[in-house]
Amino acid sequence: MDCPNSPTDHHSPCVAAPLPGENAAERDEGIALRQRRLGRIAHKIIVLSGKGGVGKSTIGVNLAVAIAMAGRRVGLLDVDIHGPSIPTMLNLKPAPLRSDGHSLLPVEIGGLKVMSIGLLLDNRDAPVIWRGPRKTAMIQQFLQDVEWGELDYLIIDAPPGTGDEPLSVCQLLGDGARAVIVTTPQEVAAADVRKSLNFCRQLNLPVLGVVENMSGFACPHCAQVTDIFSRGGGAAIAAKFAVPFLGRIPIDPAIAMACDEGTPFIHRFADSATANCLKTIISPILALTDTAPTPEPAAAPAPTPTEAPPMKIAIPIANGRLTPHFGHCAQFALLEVDPATQNLIQKTVIDAPPHEPGLLPRWLAGHGVGVIIAGGMGQRAQSLFAEQRIIVRVGAPAETPEALALAFLDGSLQTGANACDH
C-alpha cells in the first residue's frame, strides 16, 4: 500500500486506512480496541535516536527495568522489526505465541511485560524482509492485539531514524505519548539528533528529554571517567531546542557485559556510579506517575540556535552554596542564563516563601523558573514540579549557584544520590 501523503503529516490517513485484506468495519473495530488498550496505560514513552549505534536499546531496556524496580507496572515493546535486540538483552528465547483466547499475551520477566518480533522468529539469524505496510500491520498488532493490561509505563524501543517504524508507532499511539532521545557526544550524532527533535516537533510529540550516552569512559579499576569523544553535545542540543537534558552515561565495560549476558545492567550493577547516572535520568520520568496524563499542547516550531529563549534556574542556597534542605531553605538563587551561548545573564537572590505544602512549585513557576538544581527532593515534590513543566535535577553537590548553573548548561553537572528521597 503506497501512501501519497507527506511522511511528516501526522494527520495522514495512510496508517488508519484499511490494510490489505481488511475492510473499513474491521479497521474501525481495531481502532476502538487499540484505544481501549492504550487507555489503560498511563504513560507511553518512545525511545528514539537519530542514528544507529548510540546505545538506544540499551537505554530503553535499562530505563524499563529501573522503572519496574521502583515499583511501577511496566511494559517494554520492541518495534525494531529488522534488528530486534531486546530479547538478547533480556536473555529471552523465541517461543510460541501465548493467548488467553482473545488476546496475545506478552512475555513476563521480573515484573516486566515484553513483546518483540524477535520472540516470534524461529531463527534469529533470518532477516525480516518486509515493506512499510507489513511493518505497520505488525506494530498495529502489538498495540491492539497484545493484552498489556493496566500499566504505569509502556516503554517503546524504536529503530533509529525517522522512517516507517517510528512514524507508524507515533501515529498509532496518538495523543499522550512522549519521547526520550538518545545521542552520543560527537557532532555527527548531534546532527541526527536535530532531525529527531524536528521529527517530534512536526508530529506534536512532546520530548521528555535528551540522554547523552557513551559520554566518557568509566575505568573499571579506578572509576575515573575519561573523555574519549567530545563532551556536552547532548546538553547543548537540548538547550538550543529548549528541551530537558536528562543526563550523561559513560562508556562502562560492565554495560556491554550485561547486555551480552542478557542481564539488565541497572539490576546487576545497581550500586555502581554508572547505575546512579541512570537513576538520575529516570528520576523526572518516575515523577510522571503521580501526574494524570493529559493531552499535550501543540509544540511550537523548533527554534534556531539563536532563537533559544533565556532560561531561569533556581537553586536553594545557604551561605552562598547549594543546601540539601530544599523544602526548608531560607533563600533561592535565581540565575537567568543564555542556553545558546552558555553564559550567565543575571543572578538574583530571593527569600523563600513560608513553608506550605504544594506552594513552592507554584511560587517558582510564577518567577519563571524552568530548571531546579537541588541536593535532594522527594518523588511527590518532583511530580508537582513536573505539573508546572519545571525540570528537576537532584543529587547536585554543595557548590556555588554560578558553578552549578554553568555545569548544567555544558552537560558536566555531576550528580549523586538523592539527598532527600521521601
31-60: per-residue pLDDT in tens? 888 889 999 999 999 999 877 878 889 999
Look at 18-22, 55-59, 202-206 and tell me which has the smallest mean pLDDT: 18-22
Look at 4-18, 247-261, 272-286, 339-353 and tell me which has the smallest mean pLDDT: 4-18
pLDDT at residue 113, as a whole number: 94
Instruction: List residues bridging with 347 in a β-sheet.
Output: 335
Q: Is the pLDDT of residue 218 over 70?
A: no
For residues 189-195, give the mean pLDDT. 79
Q: Where in the chain is the domain with CATH 3.40.50.300?
A: 24-290
For residues 169-181, give the mean pLDDT. 90
Q: Is the pLDDT of residue 321 over 90?
A: yes
Counting Cα atoms < 13 Å in the Cβ hemisphere of 263 gives 9
64: left (phi over 0), alpha (psi -120 to 50) or beta: alpha
CA distances from 272 to 67, 69, 285, 402 (A): 17, 16, 20, 29
> Of the spans 25-29, 51-55, 144-148, 233-237, which averages the highest pLDDT?
144-148
| Euclidean distance between CA atoms 98 and 211, whole angstroms | 35
Q: Is the pLDDT of residue 421 over 90?
A: no
pLDDT band at 20 (very low <50, low <70, confident <90, very high): low
Q: Is the pLDDT of residue 29 over 70?
A: yes
pLDDT at residue 125, as a whole number: 75
Counting Cα atoms < 13 Å in the Cβ hemisphere of 358 gives 1
Higher pLDDT, 218 or 348: 348
For residues 115-125, give the mean pLDDT. 82
pLDDT band at 221 (very low <50, low <70, confident <90, very high): low
Contact in structure between 208 and 178 (CB atoms under 8 Å): yes
For residues 383-391, give the mean pLDDT. 76
Let me know how long the chain is: 422
Q: Where in 240-295 does DSSP place strands (E)? A: 245-248
- List CB contacts of 143: < 8 A, sequence separation 6 or more: 34, 37, 38, 77, 169, 172, 173
Write down the CATH number for the domain with range 309-410. Answer: 3.30.420.130
Q: Is the pLDDT of residue 295 over 60?
A: no
Q: Is the pLDDT of residue 391 over 90?
A: no
pLDDT band at 6 (very low <50, low <70, confident <90, very high): very low
pLDDT at residue 5, as a whole number: 34
- List CB contacts of 238: < 8 A, sequence separation 6 or more: 209, 210, 244, 245
Q: Which three cell numbers stand for residue 81?
A: 522489526
Q: Which CATH superfamily is domain 24-290 in?
A: P-loop containing nucleotide triphosphate hydrolases (3.40.50.300)
| Euclidean distance between CA atoms 359 and 88, whole angstroms | 47
Q: Where in the chain is the domain with CATH 3.30.420.130?
A: 309-410
Q: What percent of the chain has pLDDT over 70?
A: 83
Mean pLDDT of the chain: 80
Which helix (H) or strand (E) segment holds residue 382: the answer is helix 379-387
Contact in structure between 149 and 113 (CB atoms under 8 Å): yes
pLDDT band at 152 (very low <50, low <70, confident <90, very high): very high
pLDDT at residue 98, as a whole number: 78
pLDDT band at 135 (very low <50, low <70, confident <90, very high): confident
